[in-house]
Structure 1
Amino acid sequence: MTVTVRFAPSPTGRIHIGNTRTALFNWLFAQNNKGRFIQRFDDTDLERSRKEYADSILYDLHWLGIFPDSIEYQSKRFDIYDRAVEKLKALGLLYACYETPEELDLRRKVRRTRGLPPVYGREALSLSADEIASYEAEGRKPHWRFLLPNFTDDPSSPQRTEVQWDDLVRGEQTVDLASLSDPVLVRADGTYLYTLPSVVDDMEMGVTHVIRGDDHVTNTGVQIALFKVLGAEPPLFGHHNLLTTSSGEGLSKRSGALSVEGLREAGVEPMAIASLAVLIGTSENVQAMASMAELAAHFDLSSTSRSASKFDPDELFVLNHALLQHLEFEDVRDRLQLLGIEGERAPAFWNAVRGNLQKIADARDWWRIVDEGLLENPEFEAGDREFLAQAFDLLPESPWEADVWKAWTTSVREETGRKGKALFAPLRLALTGRASGPELAEILPLIGREGTLARRP
């Protein structure tokens, strides 16, 4: 048996880091088990689904390093779902309901006042032919509900019916079908809700493991029942915890919160996103992984916590900083060229500044400082200008070797008596305009003697 998983978002917006968590869990699970990864778009909601969103999701996944074995669109498979509907009707397990949303809401309120769970009472099963004709004469179109197998003889008297499975993340899980309403599978306009197409596709595509957020746990009880009445063995299920912001706020595709596109534009590296999305809320320490292969070696679905995982977006830049420190010049050559950083000095420049960057784009300002001069005029402490005048008088002659910084500061210390911060801080400020930054021993040869003299206060 080939392990087969799927990532099945609705293309109604940009995917965010929370969606990415699900995609990565599936991808890494497939990689670790030499399995297949299906990218499936649950786009049966033709009004809200957009081709541009599907395309952007594929782009984001490729950028992250996820490459599906196949790509499927539910909007192209309606004939398959139609056949499943006819089968359920023939089995007497799909029935027509004519209530309006307002009528359903009122019934729920009445049940609550009676101390009953606010589930659908299956009133449509007792409609007479005259009542149905009357509704249809009003122009009402039926929606169709799946009759849950939670009764013995009389559907109006449901009894506790447990659906159990050994969850890959949460362990033993139980859902009581008697506590649920019969789910609507087909809307009044003939379009499909999520439940039926998802089950039919998992059957048709040979999905062996369904890995998704724990907001689907209850859905799983219903879907297992549906798999069985359609004559299929359910796949194995794993429900991982969800990501929230540090304030506990959930993420939404429609709001665009922390979208992969937005994070990419903000300069976050793909492996920073992947490392945080996968490792947070697990028994593993959150650290920057250099590659998907390295991340896969640290991925264990069963180590995921059951509680929601709160994260601070600033953590992404901490991971970003860690990743950039280990990127070689060849890894970033093309991206640096787009920032105008090129030429024979570029490799040494990258080695000098990479440990001080939060994102690649930050290198542009350092390149300007090295190549053009200070971006702003610094303010010096009392007495520092006199010290700097002495220091610049002691600047070594050309040509400059790699140890020019050591030679210069040694002679400055011997001549002025300054050492430590009193020596180095004013020199850094004069050379870069900043109080902190890359090692000056690496920066000074790049600036050159003429460039250095031009910075004399």
Structure 2
Amino acid sequence: MNTPTIKTRFAPSPTGLIHLGNARTALFNALYAYRHQGTLLLRIEDTDLERSQTEYVQQLMTDLHWLDLNWHEGPQVGGDNGPYYQSERNEIYAHYYALLEQQDAVYPCFCTPSELALARKLQRTAGQAPRYAGTCAYLSQAEIAAKLEQGLKPTLRFRVPRGQKIEFLDLVKGQQQFATDDIGDFIIRRADGTPAFFFCNAIDDALMGVTHVFRGDDHLTNTPRQIMMLQALGLTIPQYGHIALIVGDDGTPLSKRNGSQSIQELRENGWLAEGVVNYLARLGHTYSEESYLSLTELANHFAVERLGRAPAHFDEQQLRHWQQMAVLQASATRLWDWIGQTVAAQVPHDLQTQFIAAIRSNMTYPHEALHWAKILFSDELIFSPEAQTVLAKAGSDFFHQAIVTLATTQGNYPEWVKQLKQATGTQGKNLFMPLRAALTGEVHGPEMANLLPLIGLERARRRLQANIMG
């Protein structure tokens, strides 16, 4: 079997719930893979043993499936490049640490966190960019042995070559260049023996055959470090594309404080996955087609050239717009699954298709479906303040004529309105609004011609009768 030409990956750390930013990263990697008939890889980067939790792993996979972002390789589906949990790959990392040690490309560092913090502070005070000063770079074997005998636990630092330029073509940002003299020797293994993100992330991309990496541009400065490591080990370097971050309305990175929600929260609060995906696909990527698109259509029109370099601004109004588009596009079966059993229990089975057709364009969230189900099929009706005002103004004579003409027209709404207009001389809002208020308790909502058959003639008559005084 031939290896697919294109392979992207989503590699989350299971230290919390997936939010919109994580989901968009997963989506862009998925769209690129789908667009090129490639492979989407899921890898769990759980080397932070203190913060990584099993429940977060399960939840992120649930969230990805909910968004219909189904991976071709990784946990649950397998593949030829496992294990797909980094916590299970320590022997692999040990092998590559050893190769770097053989090249003298790394060295143990015994500097304490407090010593490093003080050094960075002094560098900033002197107007210098903070980077490791190389304090332990040239310790002798005897000095190293002595420190180890004292029980000190060293980190392992990569020895950055001096006087060189690291250049690469970023898929989003274009040509990039970094001077190695501006990059301090960096840690690739922590003092507790666990691998640093820079290291295992790059090693696994190479070993798992990842060809394209789309990630947030907060990782841009990681890239020259990873390129140097992969070059030292003779491993294949993927193409990197750094996506502009999502920011809130205050211009700062999106967080719970300025509007971010987890994917779990969105699902529990009644958002449709199709709407969320349509919104995220356009958050930092332009589509010439402004209408709702299926996931396949989004992938077919996804292009690296259309990824923006400026920060993408989160706009909940736009998210709500795509929610409404998703509701309009969804099948009746899909909507019944979405609005749930509570609504289904309110709606007579033989009227369910009519109910969905009647309220679809006036429904954004499941609770609105429940609201209209109670209005249409319950004998209890709650009137909004605006409806009460309209009803009082219309008067008893209007509703008396409404009952008479309802009976003679047998619920044919256009004919009913026509006859009621002739009988009362009322027209426009003064004709339509009292009928809506009396029958639904609201002054706005779905077309009354679609609601009246659901309310039924007898219930409609009782509601009109209730507005005849004396």
Does 1:389 find its partner at 2:399? yes
Instruction: Give the structure 2 partner of residue 32 of structure 1.
Output: 35
Instruction: Give the structure 2 partner of residue 79 of structure 1.
Output: 91
How many aligned positions are there? 446
Matched letter for residue 376 of structure 1: I
The structure 1 segments of at least 4 consecutive aligned residues displaced by more than 6 Å after TM superposition are 253-256
CA separation in 2, counterparts of 1:432 and 1:301? 50
1:183-332 to 2 correspondences below 5 Å: 183-251=186-254, 257-284=260-287, 287=290, 289-332=292-335
Q: Normalized against structure 1, the TM-score is what?
A: 0.92
Structure 2 residue corresponding to 1:364, chosen from 370, 384, 403: 370
CA separation in 2, counterparts of 1:9 and 1:73? 10
Does 1:379 find its partner at 2:404? no
For residue 422 of structure 1, report the CA deviation from its aligned partner.
1.1
Contact 2:363 2:369 in 1 (8 A): yes
Contact 2:379 2:459 in 1 (8 A): yes
CA separation in 1, counterparts of 2:259 and 2:87? 24
Identify the range of structure 1 (423-432 vs 280-289) with the bigger mean alpha-carbon deviation: 280-289
Q: Structure 1 residues 373 and 321, CA, compared in 2 at 3 Å: closer, same or farther?
A: farther
CA separation in 1, counterparts of 2:307 and 2:229? 28
Matched letter for residue 449 of structure 1: L
| Identity in percent | 36
Instruction: Give the structure 2 partner of residue 156 of structure 1.
Output: none
Q: Report 1 or 2 for greater relative contact order, CA contacts < 8 Å, sequence distance ≥ 6.
A: 1
Post-superposition CA distance 1:14-60 (Å, at most 9, x none):
10111011100010100010100100011111111111101100000
- The answer for unaligned runs of 5 or more in structure 1 is 152-158
CA separation in 1, counterparts of 2:170 and 2:281? 18
Instruction: Give the structure 1 partner of residue 130 of structure 2.
Output: 118
Structure 2 residue corresponding to 1:10, chosen from 8, 13, 19: 13
Structure 1 residue corresponding to 2:107, chosen from 89, 95, 99: 95
1:160-171 to 2 correspondences below 5 Å: 161-171=164-174
Other structure's SS at 1:70 match: coil
Identify the range of structure 1 (197-206 vs 277-286) with the bigger mean alpha-carbon deviation: 277-286
Other structure's SS at 1:418 match: coil
Matched letter for residue 368 of structure 1: K
For residue 76 of structure 1, report the CA deviation from its aligned partner.
1.1
For residue 189 of structure 1, report the CA deviation from its aligned partner.
0.7
Does 1:440 find its partner at 2:445? no
Instruction: Give the structure 2 partner of residue 108 of structure 1.
Output: 120
Cα RMSD over matched residues? Answer: 2.2
Identify the range of structure 1 (19-28 vs 280-289) with the bigger mean alpha-carbon deviation: 280-289
Post-superposition CA distance 1:420-445 (Å, at most 9, x none):
11111111111111110000000001
Other structure's SS at 1:124 match: coil
Contact 2:216 2:243 in 1 (8 A): yes
Contact 2:254 2:314 in 1 (8 A): no
Post-superposition CA distance 1:302-339 (Å, at most 9, x none):
21111111112232222111221232323323344513
Matched letter for residue 361 of structure 2: G
Identify the range of structure 1 (279-288 vs 97-106) with the bigger mean alpha-carbon deviation: 279-288
Matched letter for residue 53 of structure 1: Y
Matched letter for residue 413 of structure 1: K
Q: Normalized against structure 2, the TM-score is what?
A: 0.90
CA separation in 2, counterparts of 1:251 and 1:56? 21
Does 1:345 find its partner at 2:351? yes
Contact 2:327 2:335 in 1 (8 A): no
CA separation in 2, counterparts of 1:422 and 1:254? 45
CA separation in 2, counterparts of 1:42 and 1:334? 34
Instruction: Give the structure 1 partner of residue 79 of structure 2.
Output: none
Post-superposition CA distance 1:56-78 (Å, at most 9, x none):
00000001011111212111111
Matched letter for residue 440 of structure 2: T
Contact 1:22 1:213 in 2 (8 A): yes
Contact 1:145 1:185 in 2 (8 A): yes
CA separation in 2, counterparts of 1:249 and 1:387? 60
CA separation in 2, counterparts of 1:325 and 1:387? 40
CA separation in 1, counterparts of 2:398 and 2:94? 82
Contact 1:384 1:426 in 2 (8 A): yes
Post-superposition CA distance 1:364-416 (Å, at most 9, x none):
11011000145413413453123542343324338946xx1111111110011
